[in-house]
Structure 1
Amino acid sequence: MTTAINIKTVSADAANLPILEIRNLAVGYRGNQGFQRVVHDVSLLVRPGEVVALVGESGSGKTTMAQAVIGLLAENGRLEGGAIRLNGTDISGWSQKQLDTIRGRQISLIPQDPTTSLNPVKTIGAQVAEVLQIHRQGSRAEIDARVIELLTRVGLSQPELRAKQYPHELSGGMRQRVLIAIAVALRPALIIADEPTSALDVTVQKRILDLIDELRREYGTAVLLVTHDLGVAADRANHIVVLKGGRIQEQGPIAEVLASPRCEYTRKLLADAPSLGKTRSAFRVRSRPIVGPDDAIVVENLVQDFALGGKRDVFRAVDGVSFTVQRGTTHAIVGESGSGKTTAARSIVGFQKPTSGRVFVDGTEVTTLRGENLRRLRKTIQLVYQNPFASLDPRQTIFQIVEEPLLNFDPLPREDRARKVHAILDRVDLPQSVLTRRPHALSGGQRQRVAIARALVLDPQVLVLDEAVSALDVTVQAQILELLDELQQALGLTYLFISHDLAVVRQISDTVSVLHNGRQVDGGPVEDVFQRPGSAYTRELISAIPGQRNANQHSFQ
């Protein structure tokens, strides 16, 4: 306890002292081939009230650095050199017991994946209250009141209800907001935000980032922001550190780096970022092959109700949605978490029977299919899920995961199946060496590429992508989007693109439907909707797209 108190005293007495100083940090992991170093002699500073963005592609070492700072490396990870100074005190050699005295109070982590970071058997309120109880922040009644205050502040509707619910009862965006409430509960001096808004729609993302900004300004909180979204970095940081292969490529004031990047890798990251000025990609200006005049997807007055316990109590998740998608084009469905996007997608794919309305895919009415006919539909239309960590079988190798659809639908000889698996891995830019690994050995971006490869291996006519690129860094995201476009050009594929990232939607989509509380409030050609939005809600979504601030107008002084 004494060391933690000393840290607090140093913070109060030395205003110019960095909150966080990392010097020559080296981190490695123990594997089959011994220890492999993944972070190499990294040095950076984070000062009080400052936001430092740590940017790089998946596998660059960003998350490893974040975990090392707060002492939460995996069991096979270790610090191999360097210092981590919090308010001048080197905590790199501290025990977990010592670190527990400062976690939450002095330094906190907003983790990337809310699905695996929340306890599934504890209520939301109990999990937010836990950090307050550990540090003895008042009576039970006071803590309960603080929990409701925190849930309200991070933008959760009906906070009293949410406090009594369990993680599985909340959407992914809601779960992420709970993690942020836990992280800010004790107003720590340093927040390490590891992709804190990657799963959130743009309006909630803006609200969360505004909240972090507010805490930073009010309490002098410093933020180490780990992100693959250069639009977020451009808007929110005043200093950027570009990481590749565990080594710093470039760092400096955000405005200078964005205006004149010195490193080729930084220039590529900026070129691939859809939110930094690119409204149409190179491939969007090419003409698309249209296979016939008919529509690949037709949705007519789709309604989806869910029972709330009693026979008469229902929740209407989708309310009268209609749109058509021409063969060989991309239609996007956008909206906030809980707007009905994924529910509509599941009805279109045939995973659930709508309450009313009709859905046609490739001329077949999905809502009338049963049994084997419904199963065979899976070869025509494939769904790529939002969370690859949950959708990939942890017991299978990557080869088995990608091969499985071929075993289910295409009676090909083993050699032909193997060739298809190897070929599709090349198409999604994964090395063949991953085929013998299991999902836990891959990064989040690599797992998502495996999920896309699994869907593409059957050569479907329609692909439904549910936030399929939201977890990817901009470079890999650009590669996947380019891949999807190449396949669409060559095969006349149709895409239904579910996304909260309006910058990506504008870049790749031909048409768009905007959903709000289950209703379609806007729709039509994507440029028409963006340039002349017909609803206040759509205008709010567009105004919240990151990367629109002037890089020279940062207020971090």
Structure 2
Amino acid sequence: MTTAITIKSTSTDVSNLPVLEISNLAVGYRGNEGFQRVVHEVSLLVRPGEVVALVGESGSGKTTTAQAVIGLLAENGRLEAGAVRLNGTDIAGWSQKRLDAIRGSKISLIPQDPTSSLNPVKTIGAQVAEVLQIHRQGSRAEIDARVIDLLTRVGLSQPVLRAKQYPHELSGGMRQRVLIAIAVALRPALIIADEPTSALDATVQKRILDLIDELRHEYGTAVLLVTHDLGVAADRANHLVVLKEGRVQEQGPTAEVLASPRSDYTRKLLADAPSLGKTRSVSRSISPRIHGRDDAIVVENLVQDFTIGGRRDVFRAVDGVSFTVQRGTTHAIVGESGSGKTTTVRSIVGFQKPTSGRIRVDGIDVMSLHGDTLRRFRKTIQLVYQNPFASLDPRQTIFQIVEEPLLNFDCPPREERARKVQAILDRVGLPQSALTRRPHGLSGGQRQRVAIARALVLDPQVLVLDEAVSALDVTVQAQILALLDELQQALGLTYLFISHDLAVVRQISDTVSVLHNGRQVDSGFVEDVFLRPESAYTRELIGAIPGQRKPTGTDITRSMGAER
């Protein structure tokens, strides 16, 4: 007979009985050489109404631990030892059929990627209704009404319309709200939130995290939050569990861990977190000057219109944007999705002709270029893309990837190409042994170093860094930012840094332009814009940077009551 699980009261008071208790958990994966253990003797508690954050880099065991709790390990994964107690009942050895009975009703998952986590051929309403139907939560009419209520509760506008739409018709933030609606539909005792906002803009991220907090307070639900963002964990968690290579480095009340980390690894994580670290001094690179003198990039009154659906209707994606970038400095363009960042960059690098305005890069009038002159201009300005896992050809060796731009421009003799490739690999801190390897044999940070090497092998004057560190863990991100700073100092490079992460922007940039709906709403020195923003939109962006929240009385009470 299936053991019943008794759900404790949904009061937000912290109970002595944990909703979740993990004891000495060990998990392994089957590979070519048998089972390899990746999680080692992990233990933690999550009490009602509490948020416990699992933090660490990729490969630290965060997601594997969370998947083990809800019984969703990959096919080659195996729970090798330990207990997973949900309200006192050990569910570690349960079959998938028994676990199906409690998924959604007692324990729910908010997955990381809202794009791939929803069925593209089912309406939003049908997908929210599914969890209610599986657990027989009423008649069809009652379920339909409950779906609209849930979509309303998670803050979706026009919930009746949204229920009839498909996932591709919703923004990323709206899709994430749908996943939260599914997770809270049956008011489970525990929600596992696996990087629930990592793909979202800062303000959308804040709204989603606020929503989870509201629902947690209302229902008394406990949350196991999986995140690599120390700022998010600092803001939202009562208790931190720091993992490295599948082992707990330390854990304790959030305020205590942040104030007095005991392990070297935790101290490094905290030091590397942009939202918790110090800002960069800009005095070294910005000096008083005559406007227009030694400007690597000049953009004046840039306008970019697009026709919609082949009709005469026109959408203005960029509306009168202007800024200059002094040679050897870093200028950031920030804003949410749809703000005009990418369109502005595409015009600057010559991928599209603006409707009007003026663009000069390294003294070259970009708008006058075409044909071979435009192709050769691209030696002057190179791009480093966001995702090092997608931007490198998996079939090529690292040598071939870095060499390829040389083959496309001038094609020097083979010996000279080899010398340049080897030299630039040294410059970005990669061993020569990497030359014969392919991208899949490198870590994320190493792949991004390859992408930077490929961009630098042509000796450009300007690098455009399009969300170049957003896909990286905090420690690897810090290493790449340090590398970029070193390269700028050594080579006199000018950077155009595209990002939605204001914490990183404040750390690396000298000047900044803030875009909103295609318009530039703030611009100037980074510290001036951050300390004295002119627009309400910029103030909202800055306010959404994680790691700034002060503990409330309730948070402090919970943290004190959560001593292990």
C-alpha distance in 2, partners of 1:530/1:166? 38
Kept in 1, the 8 Å contact 2:55–2:241? The answer is yes
C-alpha distance in 2, partners of 1:191/1:142? 24
Kept in 2, the 8 Å contact 1:234–1:551? The answer is no
Kept in 2, the 8 Å contact 1:148–1:163? The answer is yes
1:391 positional shift: 4.0
Distance change >3 Å, CA 289–CA 522, structure 1 → 2 = closer
C-alpha distance in 2, partners of 1:55/1:536? 32
- C-alpha distance after superposition, 1:172-206 (max 9, x if no partner): 55554444444334433222222222222222221
Distance change >3 Å, CA 514–CA 185, structure 1 → 2 = farther
Give 2:104's aligned residue. 104
Distance change >3 Å, CA 210–CA 441, structure 1 → 2 = farther
Give 1:537's aligned residue. 537
Give 2:219's aligned residue. 219
Distance change >3 Å, CA 274–CA 16, structure 1 → 2 = same
C-alpha distance in 2, partners of 1:258/1:425? 37
1:306 positional shift: 3.7
C-alpha distance in 2, partners of 1:396/1:126? 44
Range with bigger deviation, 136-145 or 222-231: 136-145
Give 1:249's aligned residue. 249
- C-alpha distance after superposition, 1:69-95 (max 9, x if no partner): 222223332222222222222222233
Kept in 2, the 8 Å contact 1:110–1:196? The answer is yes
C-alpha distance in 2, partners of 1:36/1:531? 50
Kept in 2, the 8 Å contact 1:21–1:46? The answer is yes
Q: Structure 2 stretches of 5 or more lacking a match?
A: 559-564
1:248 partner letter:
V
CA RMSD of aligned residues (A): 3.6
Kept in 2, the 8 Å contact 1:11–1:87? The answer is no
Distance change >3 Å, CA 528–CA 464, structure 1 → 2 = same
Question: Between the two proteins, what is the percent identity of the paired residues?
Answer: 86
Distance change >3 Å, CA 229–CA 324, structure 1 → 2 = same
Kept in 2, the 8 Å contact 1:289–1:492? The answer is no
2:343 partner letter:
T
Structure with higher Rg: it is 2
Range with bigger deviation, 332-341 or 172-181: 172-181
1:253 positional shift: 0.8
3-state SS in 2 of match to 1:379: coil
Kept in 2, the 8 Å contact 1:290–1:328? The answer is no
Distance change >3 Å, CA 259–CA 91, structure 1 → 2 = same
Kept in 2, the 8 Å contact 1:171–1:338? The answer is no
3-state SS in 2 of match to 1:235: helix
Kept in 2, the 8 Å contact 1:48–1:220? The answer is yes
Kept in 2, the 8 Å contact 1:255–1:552? The answer is no
Kept in 2, the 8 Å contact 1:154–1:207? The answer is no
1:160 positional shift: 5.9
Give 1:6's aligned residue. 4
Kept in 2, the 8 Å contact 1:397–1:435? The answer is yes
1:296 partner letter:
A
Give 1:361's aligned residue. 361
3-state SS in 1 of match to 2:379: helix
Give 1:518's aligned residue. 518
Distance change >3 Å, CA 358–CA 161, structure 1 → 2 = farther
3-state SS in 2 of match to 1:225: strand
1:402 positional shift: 4.9
Distance change >3 Å, CA 62–CA 398, structure 1 → 2 = farther
1:6 partner letter:
A
Kept in 2, the 8 Å contact 1:26–1:79? The answer is yes
Distance change >3 Å, CA 73–CA 397, structure 1 → 2 = farther
3-state SS in 2 of match to 1:542: helix
1:360 positional shift: 2.8
1:223 partner letter:
V
Give 1:79's aligned residue. 79
- C-alpha distance after superposition, 1:432-470 (max 9, x if no partner): 787777666776666655544544454432222222222
3-state SS in 1 of match to 2:471: coil
Range with bigger deviation, 318-327 or 357-366: 357-366
C-alpha distance in 2, partners of 1:176/1:425? 40
Q: Does 1:29 align with 2:29?
A: yes
3-state SS in 2 of match to 1:234: helix
1:379 positional shift: 3.2
Report how many aligned residue pairs link the two structures.
553
3-state SS in 2 of match to 1:538: helix
1:413 positional shift: 5.9
Range with bigger deviation, 529-538 or 138-147: 138-147
Distance change >3 Å, CA 176–CA 340, structure 1 → 2 = farther
Alignment of 1:333-344 (within 5 A): 333-344=333-344
- C-alpha distance after superposition, 1:17-54 (max 9, x if no partner): 22221111222223333332222111111111111111
1:303 positional shift: 2.6
Kept in 1, the 8 Å contact 2:152–2:159? The answer is yes
Range with bigger deviation, 476-485 or 133-142: 133-142
- C-alpha distance after superposition, 1:388-408 (max 9, x if no partner): 455445555666555544444
Q: Does 1:206 align with 2:181?
A: no
Using structure 1 for the length normalisation, give the TM-score.
0.86
Alignment of 1:21-170 (within 5 A): 21-138=21-138, 143=143, 147=147, 150=150, 154=154, 167=167
Give 1:507's aligned residue. 507
C-alpha distance in 2, partners of 1:173/1:420? 44
3-state SS in 1 of match to 2:64: helix
Give 2:320's aligned residue. 320
C-alpha distance in 2, partners of 1:343/1:428? 29
Distance change >3 Å, CA 115–CA 343, structure 1 → 2 = farther
3-state SS in 2 of match to 1:117: coil
C-alpha distance in 1, partners of 2:194/2:61? 12
1:419 positional shift: 6.5
3-state SS in 1 of match to 2:353: coil
Kept in 1, the 8 Å contact 2:50–2:238? The answer is yes
Range with bigger deviation, 375-384 or 446-455: 446-455
Distance change >3 Å, CA 319–CA 246, structure 1 → 2 = same
